Amino acid sequence: MGAPPPNDTHPKIEALLIDGYRRMSPAQKLERVRMLTRAVQELALADVRGRHPDAGEQALRLASRWIERDLMIRAFDWDVQKVGY
């Protein structure tokens, strides 16, 4: 196993975060995950729009970041290796 990932969070702050997460209800944790997932999707969409501002297939480019290549080809006839993200 390799070295642990770098951590730029001070140990006291990390302890506070962990304590806060432990105090959250399952519904609160799920909402936090939902919000973070949405933020990642928004960042990915902004990247797609920046790379392809005039492209009409932005939704496919976005989906191809989460869906396996073979499924994208079968479902949408979209090969990310040919057209990019």
Q: What is the pLDDT of residues 28-45, one digit of tens each?
A: 999 999 999 999 999 999
Contact 19, 40 (CB under 8 A): no
Q: Indicate whether 42 belongs to any domain.
A: yes
Q: Indicate whether 3 belongs to any domain.
A: no
Q: Indicate whether 6 belongs to any domain.
A: no
Q: What is the pLDDT of residues 68-82, one digit of tens each?
A: 999 999 999 999 899
Number of compact structural domains in the chain:
1
Average pLDDT along the chain = 91
Question: Cα(45)–Cα(51) distance, rounded to whole angstroms?
Answer: 10
Residue 38: its pLDDT value, please? 95
What is the extent of the structural domain holding 59? 11-83
Average pLDDT over residues 58-73: 93
